[in-house]
Structure 1
Amino acid sequence: MSRLPIDEVLPEIVGALRAHCGVVIEAPPGAGKSTRVPPALLDAGLAGGRQVVMLEPRRVAARATAGRIARERGVRLGEEVGYQVRFDRRAGPDTKLLVITEGILTRWLQRDPLLDDVGLVILDEFHERSVHSDLAIAFLREVQQVRDDLKVVVMSATIATAPIAEFLDVPVVKSLGRTFPVEVEYLAQPPEERLEYEAARAARRYVGGADDDGGDILIFLPGRAEIHRCLSALERWAPAEGVACYPLYSALSNEEQDRALAPGGGRRIIVSTNIAETSLTIEGVTLVIDSGQVRTMRSSPASGLNELVLEHVSLASANQRAGRAGRVRAGRALRLWTRAFEHRMAAYDDAELQRVELSPVVQEVVAWSGADPGEFGWFESPPAPALAQAVELLRQLGALEPDDFRTTDVGRRLLDLPLHPRLGRMLIEGERRGCAAQTCAMAAILSERDFVTSVASDAPAGRSDVLIRAELLEDAARGSGQAARRLGLGVHQGGARRVAQVRDQLLKTIGARRPDTGDAVDLLKTLLVAFPDRIAFRREDGAARFVMVGGEALALARESVVRDAEVVVAASIGGRTRARDAVGGVASRGLIRMASQVEMAWLEDVYPRRFDERVVVAFDSERERVMAERQRRFDGIALERQVASVDRHADAAEVTTCLLNHALDDVVAAFGLGTDDAQFLLRWECARRWFPDADFPRLMLDARRGDPAQPIWEQVCWGKRSLGQLRAMNLGAQLSAYLNREQRRLLDEELPPRLEVPSGSQIRLEYRLEGPPVLAVRIQEVFGWLDSPRLARGQVAVLLHLLAPNYRPQQVTDDLAGFWERTYPQVRKELRARYAKHPWPEDPLQARAIRK
């Protein structure tokens, strides 16, 4: 067995575990931590005669790692060394080292909180920060408070390890250096074509070139579609060069994945998603071609729905990918971006908890702790709004009690199902309605990649995209596809087989034995129960546009056959919205990929408490008045409308608030104020700011809709419902009643509406919310004025707009003395020739001011 860099620090790791309850191992890609650390710890007896369990983030990595460990130890897979992933287990009573996917441990902890049969848990590839790894490290820390003999090991390649060590209060052991060096190359210019074709051309240039070392090639692309386009380009020349090409992604069967990973059999090009980024050792790879792209699951800020978003990888992920080329000998990595672009890349990937919908996570935390998930001991706390949204969904599904954080009977049943809470709730409802088998098929369809690849534009309309797929599944999985073609649908046989396997596993999980007795309506109602927050109503302004409860705007995708429904459940939402993707080419935030029809009577039956009737008021800008209508609503969405009398049916406070919100957008226009009244309001607000001890009430002239606490305006507007009524009142007199004697005196004396200038004129001051008051006056009227006047007991200098005889501003200043001294001589020189009839004395301070 060849030596790997991690072998040098195995004694240090063992020693750290003998002295502490855990250890954090930091080792770069290629060090061998996944295959060498677990057996070393098993052989050192650190599990205390119990099982060593290692968590892997992906199924393919769990199976491949367990197989490699078994081969290196010379044992049969499934005996001493085994694995367990979703719907697949190779382990027995003698298994001492078990490699599992992260969600499996979460299930174990809910059933056996002390993990009595486990002595040591290893979290591999922790830098990927999946929700399950973050849950596992938090749960395990709490278990260790009761079981001081449980050891926890965290292994990471690219993340800062100090916070992990501090969280667990354990030491860090570092392993330095890859097995072999990897030379990284970049493009000279950004790629001009699709990256999958750029990658295929790069492989073509390399094979048979001067630098070709004859090793295997690993290409990273973001998804299945890009992989198969790349394979099509490679297949044009690769077979003639003796090179076999293989895809590698999670939706492939175990056999297809194993073919891509199996060593020997000639030279290969493996085209993979990021599942080959960590843990996997693909023998013989010496060149990595990295597209730099990945599809990442993120939650929409507007709707809280998860969607796959195409993004550029982080620098840490790029280094992980490059490390695949240095596992067996020196290698190269070609990055399909420029060196300059690398400076704009994120250093690390953000944790999954920070970017996805959290209802499965919250369900686990509440079941574990029985407390508010916001108070749970997270390694890194998720966003509070995402937690609140998840709690609300679980309550709508009936998984949590309405008023506290206790798991219901439904919630406990959901924990036993290997599905998202939505789909688990659908299964429970399907059992209740006598349609468990078909519901399992629909749950499998929604949990796996869609096996329908195309929908003809003339495909007949239907009631449910999900139900149609369930009815076609068996025929598609057998490879016939005739039933789908008759309906204008194209199907992927391998994808259908995968969905059918998941359906069969779900049937086994729930123990469904009796044939279905429910009908299509029962099946459609299970979808309604599973997606209480994705009920969408057709909008009046567009045949293909919908509004979902909560206000999210959606459009029906072209591939949906649910074209005639007025109300739908949006069972699958995703993809970037482009006009050509939606029926009618409408623009919208999201596309409903799979819809299911809903009858209004079903909503009344399933969600009667979400209906209400109320009188709603709104401001009619054309009529300039508040109008009212009686609405029947579902979660705030109006379903029926009828004009109502404002005086007889509307709430007076709501009418006042509605009118006030509109009026405060433009007080002058709303109340029809003249200049004096408008300036009175501005003088009031300036006095409030300049004399805070005088306790002037706040008028909120800078308010906008929704601002709280407007008591004066509410009283002024009370009983009014139109702008005409507001304009008919004497606003100044009404507002003056709210001022005491001292406040009125301050307004009159310290913030006068007009100012007398040396010419004897009484000139209006212009008060403003921002900046000092403005006095626009002709230069001849201020001869003899030594300096700028000041208001508010000398606090504020008036801003003078000094005008020429034609009343156009010649100078703007709050320093009149400085103007006379420095600027007036030049102004006099320029203007005396143009306005010879007007006086322009050499000494303006001694001259007599004149009005005309």
Structure 2
Amino acid sequence: MSERLPIEEALPALKKALAAGPNAVVTAPPGAGKTTVVPLALLSEPWAGGGRIVMLEPRRIAARGAARRMASLLGERAGETVGYRTKGDTKVGPRTRVEVVTEGVLTRMLQQDPALDGVACVLFDEFHERSVHADLGLALALQSQGLFRDDLRLVVMSATIEADAAARLLGGCAVVRSEGRMYPVETRYEERRTELSVERRAAATVKEALLRHPEGDALVFLPGGREIRRTAGELERLGLPSGVRVAPLYGALSPEEQDAAIAPARPGERKVVLATSIAETSLTVEGVRIVVDSGLSRVPRYSPRTGLTALETTAVTVASADQRRGRAGRVAPGVCYRLWTEEEHRRLEPFGEPEILATDATPLALELAVWGVRDPLELSWLDPPPEGAYKQAVDLLQRLGALDARGVVTPEGRRMAELGMHPRLAHMTLRAMENGRGDLACELATLLEERDAQSPGGADMRLRVEALRRGATPAAAKQREEAARRMRDAGVVRDGRPTAAADSGELLALAFPDRVAMRRANGKYVLAGGRGAEFAGDEPLSRETFLAIAELDGAGVDSRIRSAAPLSAEALRRVCADRIRTEDDVYWDAASASVRARRRTTLDAIALEETPAASPDPERVRDALLRGIAETGLQLLPWTKAADQFRKRLLFLRMHAGEEWPDVSDERLLETLPDWLGSYVFGMKSKGDLERVRLVEALEASLSWEQRRRMDEWAPTHLTVPSGSRLAVDYGDPDAPALSAKLQELFGWAETPRIGGGRVPVTIRLLSPAQRPVQITRDLANFWRETYFEIKKDLKGRYPKHYWPDDPTAAIATRGTRPKIPQGD
């Protein structure tokens, strides 16, 4: 008898939970056997009633492997009782009861039949990976269960997920825990950081480990296909012991190549598997006793700022590192070499971010629209999609014609969702099929979705298409096969010669309307969305006037162009006709301090053509002039002494006489320029013209007749003093208007004059006969009584010829040295 797997001890509790309620959560570490044991164990449960068990796996290779393993346990081949459905590869038959599905297959099943007729249970395996497909599938399945199928069982299975949170999402269901079984694994860290490349360090460590540990295979974790190919080259350069085979394992390889990597080594042979994170959990790579972990992973990151998703190489989390380490202890004691220091390990994040929070929300938004949901919060999520990213996704789908203005899916949007491509590529394919170029669209879609495939031709997508068509490498053959599958699925009919690769730019502009770009004078490009972009180095495409950019690295001020194709001016106008606008642009030119007019043809943020415009609309000229004043400031206006004084009087009145008086502060005047100044600048267009503006008249126009009368009374421009002089009032400080006068001119003025309807005393600046400041007061009576006599002593000594009376309140004021005494007195 074969040895019992740990998960089998948890099966009674799981069966009991599903007999009592529709949902359950299963937690079990890698190696417990949940992937292959649970689906078969549930087939005979009474509630299953002969229905199918559907299990979602996050990766194609894991789906095929799980189905084949379960089929072998039944003594069958995949496609009989147990089958699988993956993108481009399906093995199911009329007797199939267990279907292992991946990627968007479950979503398509739900979209086509929301009630999942004939399905008894949906299992979500490796849910801790939190792929956006798994999150979406669970959200849709929960709503299906609530609306149509209260008998549908849902089971979430995971190695590291927070079980309580998942259980709450599933209505407070039971949590079934299984203990794993793992042999001891020795962990070795690097003693110090090194500047060597990850490929050289990994290769050197593998060679050392094979010599030090004579038994078992090695599993090496690297971030992507590029690093895997380089590490394989390093191993070849270093030379490995005889009988050692190097096997790459990553998503872009053919199923046959992937199967060869996970198959047991032949007798007398040792195997070194160079893998991405694809081998972390759901896959079992037979015979591994040695793990070499680079500590790196490549994940998609979406930036709402740029609207782009880019693959980022990041440090693994503690949870991922532990998963990788555990691969060395499945069959016997093992060893794990970590290519980082213990200090670096202590700084790792404990868990990764769910994909739904970090990736492009456009496919998700389209699927929800097809489901009939405009607001994702109508569904239940562990983590709902971010609001900003989701809004950008909806905006893009509306631009692509997949959603209408209300956010409701269009017939075009439904067709796009059925293709199973990213909505950008689906839109490109459907539009290309209308004019017989569907073959090229499918080839471009293949190249853009094969992220880890080698890309001969640099950034030029035309050369990549030619390499796909003519290349003799296994990678090119695989791409041709994938492109042919896409053509079959889309219904592309090929008759005659293939579409010229030179048309790539026009098709890419359909997929990426926001990334159509025009070359600027400095050699960089401006995108239709307004952002900048440039090539990393010397690139032939950099001399093209127009580009349709497919891939961008969103980091930095100017994004880095990774792939693109040239776009002729004619093709641009044809593809983007609905977004091209020609209009006269009347604007304020700060350099010349004047209004300019130009006729501009634009594609969103791109200025395609610009010429001077003759006879611009006078109202638009006036509006542009007012905008220039608002941008530059009120100093652009001719503030004469009279205009400045008039404005300050109004400020004083508003402060002391109430809000019935207009607000003429800088902020308010700039906000209301069209209201108070618009009619006075009509026909003007420059700073020089503004010198003719009558600002006093413009400001006075906002006053009623009664206010104009009261203004002269409450905020007089001048006051007549006892000497008969008419002196100006200074409103520079609206809180304290002031009057400057020689002391002798105020003899006889017993009290401080008041303005503002008697509310505000005037500040008196008392001057000597030589016009020098002597005293400032707002209480003239107190000055005469308390201070005058002290000042008189000093002034009388300096100005003995002047008149210094003993009672200034009864004295005669004078403008001169002494008062003139009337004859006869």
Could you say which residue in structure 2 is the equivalent of 1:419? 421
Evaluate the alpha carbon distance shift between residue 748 and residue 597 of structure 1 in structure 2; reply closer, same or farther with a 3 A threshold. closer
Could you say which residue in structure 2 is the equivalent of 1:711? 672
Amino acid at match of 1:532: P
Superposition deviation, residue 671 in structure 1: 5.0
The answer as to 2:38 corresponding to 1:37 is: yes
Superposition deviation, residue 658 in structure 1: 2.7
Partner Cα separation in structure 1 for residue 322 and residue 738 of structure 2: 73
Amino acid at match of 2:479: V
Evaluate the alpha carbon distance shift between residue 695 and residue 156 of structure 1 in structure 2; reply closer, same or farther with a 3 A threshold. farther
Contact 2:220 2:272 in 1 (8 A): yes
Superposition deviation, residue 150 in structure 1: 0.6
Partner Cα separation in structure 2 for residue 423 and residue 363 of structure 1: 13
Evaluate the alpha carbon distance shift between residue 113 and residue 338 of structure 1 in structure 2; reply closer, same or farther with a 3 A threshold. same
Q: 1:362 aligns with which of 365, 375, 397?
A: 365
Q: Which sits farther off after the overlay, 64-73 or 523-532? A: 523-532
Evaluate the alpha carbon distance shift between residue 347 and residue 647 of structure 1 in structure 2; reply closer, same or farther with a 3 A threshold. same
Superposition deviation, residue 250 in structure 1: 0.8
Partner Cα separation in structure 2 for residue 67 and residue 662 of structure 1: 70
Partner Cα separation in structure 1 for residue 641 and residue 299 of structure 2: 58
Q: 1:475 aligns with which of 470, 478, 483?
A: 470
Secondary structure, counterpart of 2:241 in structure 1: helix
Secondary structure, counterpart of 1:31 in structure 2: coil
Larger Cα-atom Rg: 2
Partner Cα separation in structure 1 for residue 698 and residue 467 of structure 2: 73
Could you say which residue in structure 1 is the equivalent of 2:548? 569
Q: 1:338 aligns with which of 337, 341, 345?
A: 341
Could you say which residue in structure 2 is the equivalent of 1:531? 512
Evaluate the alpha carbon distance shift between residue 513 and residue 749 of structure 1 in structure 2; reply closer, same or farther with a 3 A threshold. closer
Could you say which residue in structure 2 is the equivalent of 1:285? 288
Contact 1:560 1:595 in 2 (8 A): no
Amino acid at match of 2:547: V
Superposition deviation, residue 680 in structure 1: 11
Partner Cα separation in structure 2 for residue 678 and residue 31 of structure 1: 86
Q: Deviations over 1:468-525 (max 9, x none)?
A: 443443321xx2xxxxxxxxxxxxx122111111112123223444504786487654
Q: 1:614 aligns with which of 583, 605, 611?
A: 583
Could you say which residue in structure 1 is the equivalent of 2:433? 431
Secondary structure, counterpart of 1:638 in structure 2: strand
Secondary structure, counterpart of 1:316 in structure 2: helix
Q: Which sits farther off after the overlay, 349-358 or 98-107? A: 349-358
Contact 1:680 1:732 in 2 (8 A): yes
Aligned residues: 720
Contact 2:646 2:696 in 1 (8 A): yes
TM-score (ref. length: structure 1): 0.75
Q: Which sits farther off after the overlay, 3-12 or 644-653? A: 644-653
Could you say which residue in structure 1 is the equivalent of 2:445? 443
Could you say which residue in structure 1 is the equivalent of 2:801? none
Q: 1:633 aligns with which of 602, 612, 617?
A: 602
The answer as to 2:559 corresponding to 1:589 is: yes
Alignment of 1:294-305 (within 5 A): 294-305=297-308
The answer as to 2:354 corresponding to 1:351 is: yes
Could you say which residue in structure 1 is the equivalent of 2:789? none
Could you say which residue in structure 1 is the equivalent of 2:484? 504
Secondary structure, counterpart of 1:24 in structure 2: strand
Q: Which sits farther off after the overlay, 654-663 or 277-286? A: 654-663
Evaluate the alpha carbon distance shift between residue 455 and residue 656 of structure 1 in structure 2; reply closer, same or farther with a 3 A threshold. same
Could you say which residue in structure 1 is the equivalent of 2:763? none
Evaluate the alpha carbon distance shift between residue 660 and residue 517 of structure 1 in structure 2; reply closer, same or farther with a 3 A threshold. farther
Superposition deviation, residue 663 in structure 1: 1.8
Partner Cα separation in structure 2 for residue 29 and residue 278 of structure 1: 6
What RMSD, in angstroms, separates the aligned Cα atoms of the two structures? 4.0
Partner Cα separation in structure 1 for residue 291 and residue 645 of structure 2: 72
Secondary structure, counterpart of 1:235 in structure 2: helix
TM-score (ref. length: structure 2): 0.78
Evaluate the alpha carbon distance shift between residue 22 and residue 375 of structure 1 in structure 2; reply closer, same or farther with a 3 A threshold. closer
Partner Cα separation in structure 1 for residue 420 and residue 625 of structure 2: 53
Amino acid at match of 1:573: L
Superposition deviation, residue 157 in structure 1: 2.0
Contact 1:569 1:598 in 2 (8 A): no
Amino acid at match of 2:411: D
Partner Cα separation in structure 1 for residue 229 and residue 497 of structure 2: 42
Superposition deviation, residue 635 in structure 1: 1.8
Partner Cα separation in structure 1 for residue 223 and residue 322 of structure 2: 16
Contact 2:362 2:394 in 1 (8 A): yes
Q: Deviations over 1:96-155 (max 9, x none)?
A: 111111311111111111111211111111122222111101100111011011111111
Partner Cα separation in structure 2 for residue 687 and residue 11 of structure 1: 87
Partner Cα separation in structure 2 for residue 258 and residue 133 of structure 1: 24
Q: Which sits farther off after the overlay, 295-304 or 215-224? A: 295-304
Amino acid at match of 1:110: Q
Evaluate the alpha carbon distance shift between residue 523 and residue 593 of structure 1 in structure 2; reply closer, same or farther with a 3 A threshold. closer
Partner Cα separation in structure 2 for residue 451 and residue 716 of structure 1: 64
Amino acid at match of 1:78: G
Q: Matched residues, percent identical?
A: 37
Evaluate the alpha carbon distance shift between residue 691 and residue 61 of structure 1 in structure 2; reply closer, same or farther with a 3 A threshold. farther
Q: Deviations over 1:129-185 (max 9, x none)?
A: 222111101100111011011111111222323222222202222234443344444
Contact 1:625 1:721 in 2 (8 A): yes
Q: Deviations over 1:325-357 (max 9, x none)?
A: 222233333332233333433332222222222
Partner Cα separation in structure 2 for residue 81 and residue 44 of structure 1: 17
Partner Cα separation in structure 1 for residue 496 and residue 675 of structure 2: 62
Evaluate the alpha carbon distance shift between residue 647 and residue 167 of structure 1 in structure 2; reply closer, same or farther with a 3 A threshold. same
- Runs of at least 5 residues in structure 1 that lack an aligned partner in the other structure: 457-463, 480-492, 578-586, 761-780, 791-852
Secondary structure, counterpart of 2:517 in structure 1: strand
Contact 1:191 1:337 in 2 (8 A): no
Secondary structure, counterpart of 2:84 in structure 1: strand
Could you say which residue in structure 2 is the equivalent of 1:220? 221
Q: Which sits farther off after the overlay, 346-355 or 642-651? A: 642-651
Contact 1:245 1:268 in 2 (8 A): yes
Could you say which residue in structure 2 is the equivalent of 1:163? 165
Alignment of 1:204-219 (within 5 A): 204-209=207-212, 212=213, 214-219=215-220
Evaluate the alpha carbon distance shift between residue 603 and residue 675 of structure 1 in structure 2; reply closer, same or farther with a 3 A threshold. same
The answer as to 2:729 corresponding to 1:751 is: no
The answer as to 2:14 corresponding to 1:13 is: yes
Partner Cα separation in structure 1 for residue 204 and residue 693 of structure 2: 78
Contact 1:366 1:373 in 2 (8 A): no
Contact 1:287 1:333 in 2 (8 A): yes
Contact 1:185 1:334 in 2 (8 A): yes
Could you say which residue in structure 2 is the equivalent of 1:311? 314
Evaluate the alpha carbon distance shift between residue 637 and residue 436 of structure 1 in structure 2; reply closer, same or farther with a 3 A threshold. closer
Superposition deviation, residue 644 in structure 1: 3.1
Evaluate the alpha carbon distance shift between residue 522 and residue 46 of structure 1 in structure 2; reply closer, same or farther with a 3 A threshold. same
Q: Deviations over 1:389-433 (max 9, x none)?
A: 2222222222223x2233322222222213222222222223221
Amino acid at match of 1:216: D
Evaluate the alpha carbon distance shift between residue 116 and residue 692 of structure 1 in structure 2; reply closer, same or farther with a 3 A threshold. farther
Evaluate the alpha carbon distance shift between residue 325 and residue 674 of structure 1 in structure 2; reply closer, same or farther with a 3 A threshold. farther
Amino acid at match of 1:501: E
Alignment of 1:680-829 (within 5 A): 710-711=671-672, 715-716=676-677, 719=681, 721-724=685-688, 751-752=735-736
Partner Cα separation in structure 2 for residue 396 and residue 510 of structure 1: 22
Evaluate the alpha carbon distance shift between residue 471 and residue 190 of structure 1 in structure 2; reply closer, same or farther with a 3 A threshold. closer
Superposition deviation, residue 679 in structure 1: 12
- Runs of at least 5 residues in structure 2 that lack an aligned partner in the other structure: 717-729, 745-771, 779-825
